[in-house]
Amino acid sequence: MVSNHNVKRTRVSPEALEAKRLKELSKVKEYLALNDDLLARKRSKTYRKEDFEATTRILSINPEFYTAWNYRREIFLNGLFPASTPAQIDEFLSSDLDMTMAQLQRHPKVYWIWNHRRWCLEHVPEGPGEDGDSREGWRRDNWNKEMFVAEKMLDRDPRNFHAWNYRRYIVASWPSIRTKDDELKYTKKKIQSNFSNFSAWHQRSKVLGAMWEVTPATRTEQDEGMSSHHAHSCCRLIILKEFEFVKSALWTDPGDQSAWIYHRWLIGEGDDLVVLQREIDVIEELLVEEPDSKWCLDSLVHFQRLLLQHKDESSVDVSSIQQRCVFALTKLEAIDPKRKQRYQDIKSQL
C-alpha cells in the first residue's frame, strides 16, 4: 500500500485560484450570450447561413441543447434546402454527419446527437452513388457508412445501448445491409467477448423474435417453397442451438444476470413442458456446482412456478415442487436479504 506521505502535493496560490474562477466565469458568460442570441434568432424565424453557424457554435459547447438541434433542422428545411440542388443537399447532410461523428467521439451517449443523425439519413435525396445507381445511390452509400459507424462505436463500447438502438434502426430502415444471419453472428461475437453484454443479448432476442414471427404475409422470396414442416424443423433446430449457447454462458458466469434474463425469454411461458423440465434439470445440475448462486436459485423458482401453472397438462408432483420452491426461497432470503420481502411474497403465493 502506498503511503499518502509519498504523494507530492502542489500548492495552488490564491492568485491562481482566482484566475481559474474568472476564466470559468468568462466561459459561462460566453455560453449564456450564445444561448440568448440563438433563442432570439429562433423567435425571429430567420433561416440564414449565419443562423446555421450560430447553432454549430453552441452545439459544440452543449450537444444536449435540443432546441438548437431543432432550430438547425428548421434552417435546413426552410432556408438551405429550398435554395440548393440535390447534390448540395447531400453535401450539407454529409457534412452534418461528419460533424456529429466528431461529437460522438466525445459524447457517445447523448441522445440528441444520435437523433440528428437519423434525421439526416431520412432526408438524403435521390441521387447517384459510388455504384452509379441513379435513385438510391446516395442513400445506400450513407446507410452503409452508418452501419460502419455503429460498429465502430460498439467496438469502443460494446454495451452502448444508444449504438445498439441505432444499429437496429439502420437494419430496419435498410434491411439489405445485414441479413438476420449476419446479425446473429455479430451478436454472438459480442456476447462471446463479454457474456455480461445485456444489449447484445437483447439485440439477439429481437433478431430471433423477428425470424420466428415470419407469417405468410411477411414471407420473403427466400422463404417461398419452404414447407411448413421444414420451417418448423429449422426453427426448433435454431432454438435448440440457442439453449446450448446460453447454457455455456450460464455455466461460465452464473452470477451474471444478462444470460439468465435471455434464458427466461427463450422459455417464455413454459408452454413446451419438455423444454421447461429439461432446463430445470440444467439449473439443478448447475446448482450442485454453485449452491449459493442467486440467479440459479431465482430462476429455478421461476421455472418451477411455470411448471405449477401447467399442472393440469402434466403429471407433476405439486407438493414436491412447492417444497423445493420454499427451500430455494428461504436460501435466497439469506443470500439476498435486500429482497427478502419479495421472496416471502412469492412463498405466500405458493
96-110 tens-digit pLDDT? 999 999 999 999 999
Evaluate if residue 226 carries a pLDDT over 50.
Answer: no
Q: Report yes or no: 184 and 219 within 8 Å, Cβ to Cβ.
A: no
Is pTM beyond 0.85? Reply is: no
CA–CA separation, 206 and 324 (whole Å): 33
What average pLDDT does the segment 189-202 reach? Answer: 95
Sequence-ordered list of residues with C-beta below 8 angstroms from that of 293, at least 6 positions apart, any chain: 254, 255, 286, 287
- pLDDT confidence of 136, banded at 50, 70, 90? confident
CA–CA separation, 295 and 252 (whole Å): 13
Task: Encode pLDDT of 233-291 as tens digits.
Answer: 667 788 899 999 999 999 999 999 999 999 999 999 998 999 999 999 999 999 999 99
Q: Could you tell me how far CA 175 lies from the centroid of its own chain? A: 18
Task: Encode pLDDT of 51-66 as tens digits.
Answer: 999 999 999 999 999 9
**Mean pLDDT, rounded, of the chain:** 88
Task: Encode pLDDT of 246-257 as tens digits.
Answer: 999 999 999 999
Instruction: State the sign of the Cα–Cα–Cα–Cα dihedral 118, 122, 126, 131.
Output: positive
Domains (range + CATH), the chain = 268-349 (1.25.40)
- What does the block give as the cell for 23? 476564466
pLDDT at 340: 94
CA distances from 4 to 10, 11, 12, 13, 81 (A): 14, 16, 19, 22, 61
CA angle (202 as vertex; 201, 207 as ends), nearest 5: 95
- pLDDT confidence of 129, banded at 50, 70, 90? low
Instruction: Single out the residue of 267, 261, 237, 238 nearest to residue 249, CA to CA.
Output: 261
CA distances from 223 to 173, 179, 219 (A): 21, 13, 6
* Residue 79 DSSP class: I
Residue bearing the bigger pLDDT, 172 or 130 = 172
